[in-house]
């Protein structure tokens, strides 16, 4: 994915999360949210490749980046 497109995807996912979920309340909560997304990415990586898998992996990676951005904006 091209860098500018990736940044737009991350910003869109961040904005969606802000509109749907309350602000992160602590470093522990932020860490747990990011870890959950990393675990979901790892689950996708571990399975045997199948058609469309790369799309799901890309989406999950964008969620991680969006939650890291949310961590920064909510807590730092």
Prediction pTM value: 0.93
pLDDT tens digits, one per residue of 45-72:
999 999 999 999 999 999 999 999 999 9
Among 1, 2, 34, 4, smallest CA distance to 17 is for 34
Could you say which DSSP state residue 22 is in? P
The percent of the chain in helix, strand and coil, each rounded to the nearest 5, is: 80, 0, 20
Does residue 39 register a pLDDT over 90? yes
pLDDT at position 32: 98
For residue 37, pLDDT beyond 90: yes
Work out whether the CA dihedral 74, 2, 44, 17 comes out positive or negative: positive
Q: What is the pLDDT of residue 43?
A: 97
* Eight-class DSSP state of 76: -
Distance from C-alpha of 33 to C-alpha of 41, rounded to nearest angstrom: 13
Ramachandran sector of residue 52 (left: φ over 0; alpha: ψ -120 to 50; beta: rest): left
């Amino acid at each position: 994915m091209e860098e500018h497109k990736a940044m737009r995807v991350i910003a869109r996912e961040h904005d969606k999360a802000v509109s749907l979920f309350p602000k992160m309340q602590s470093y522990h909560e932020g860490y747990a949210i990011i870890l959950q997304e990393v675990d979901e990415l790892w689950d996708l990586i571990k399975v045997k490749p199948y058609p469309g898998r790369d799309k799901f992996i890309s989406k999950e990676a964008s969620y991680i980046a969006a939650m890291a951005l949310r961590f920064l904006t909510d807590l730092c």
